[in-house]
Amino acid sequence: MLNSIFGIQPEALSAFLGEYFPAYRSKQLLHWIYGRQVCDPAQMTDLPADFKSFIQSSFSFNMPAIRQKNQSRDGSVKFRLALEDQAQIEMVLIPEGRKMTLCVSSQAGCARACAFCATGSMRLSRSLEAHEIVQQLLLARQNSPQPITNLVFMGMGEPLDNLDNVLEALKLIQHEAALAFSPRRTTLSTCGIVPGIHLLADSGVKVKLAVSLNSARDELRSELMPVNLKYPLPVLKRALLYYLQKSRYRVTLEYILIPGVNMGGQDLKALRKFSGDLACKINFIPYNPVPGLPYAAPAPEEVEEFMQRAQSLPQAIMLRHSRGSDIGGACGQLVVAAKATNNGGS
């Protein structure tokens, strides 16, 4: 099987093609793909036939197929993509004024089995290759009505469980000769994989880090997020402090609001203690219900009362409402049924 052109770093591509063709041919090819968003060599009109034939025999130009596209009342659009082996993933375009955020997946399914998350119910099928992550951004650019301004690794999967491929994809996404996407507008979300946080901090790849916290009480967080049994809160906090030594960006703590579970006075007290000496901001997100799971969304008055009490926290706080909940495209709702994965359709 040929290596995908969409996973080759520009320097490696230039070095390879430079053995057979003038250096400018590599630049032309990169511009067609990443500048003009054309992924089929047949449509690259100023490339000579021998060069097109050579690159098509050297690399795969196959792209994921869009199997399903659903638009939300709020303008968000969820895409279900079939990869070459027919594994299926989902990505979501989220418009908000002049911003257009793309939520990408890093795995097909997820092994972390958070109690409130639909993706966790899939278990893990496999991790995505670097080119399969890059291809999501390329497809989104082709299908977005406006430029994509923000990129979040908050779709299917745990990015730090697939760190090598995620880092390789980020290098391409941020490379000036490729997508030239700003690190300041790129956020990677993790459930708290401590070794991965250390490796990310040491990698030299710049990205904003968000941590799905959801409780600052060890016993409760372990119930909601099994990862906490392996990396409990004190261990996670030390990793975040290490990351902050290496990064110029604040960490974001993500906290899903689940009534009767993590919205009490003791929960805020524990959160204040955990976050007090962290350079961070805290996003509170009302829970998006998932069929078959025992959790409910908080009522507006419950959210308002909680946010009033949360004003006592020393960090900047924000209430964020997920987009696309009516199409199953909001936080924690992305899922592909096993039947759809097996037959390659939806």
Domain boundaries of the chain, sorted by first residue: 5-58, 65-343
Domain 5-58, CATH class in plain words:
mainly alpha
- Supply the pLDDT for residue 339: 43
Q: Which of 39, 90, 132, 254 is catalytic?
A: 90
**Is 331 labeled as catalytic in the residue annotation?**
yes
| DSSP label of 6 | G
Instruction: Give yes or no for residue 346 having a pLDDT over 80.
Output: no
Q: Which of 39, 103, 110, 331 is catalytic?
A: 331
- Supply the pLDDT for residue 118: 83
| Token code pair at residue 128 | 């995505």
Fold of 65-343: TIM Barrel (3.20.20)
CB-based burial label for 72 (10 Å; 0-12, 13-18, 19+): buried
Instruction: Give yes or no for residue 345 having a pLDDT over 60.
Output: no
- Supply the pLDDT for residue 344: 33
Rounded mean pLDDT, 127-133: 98
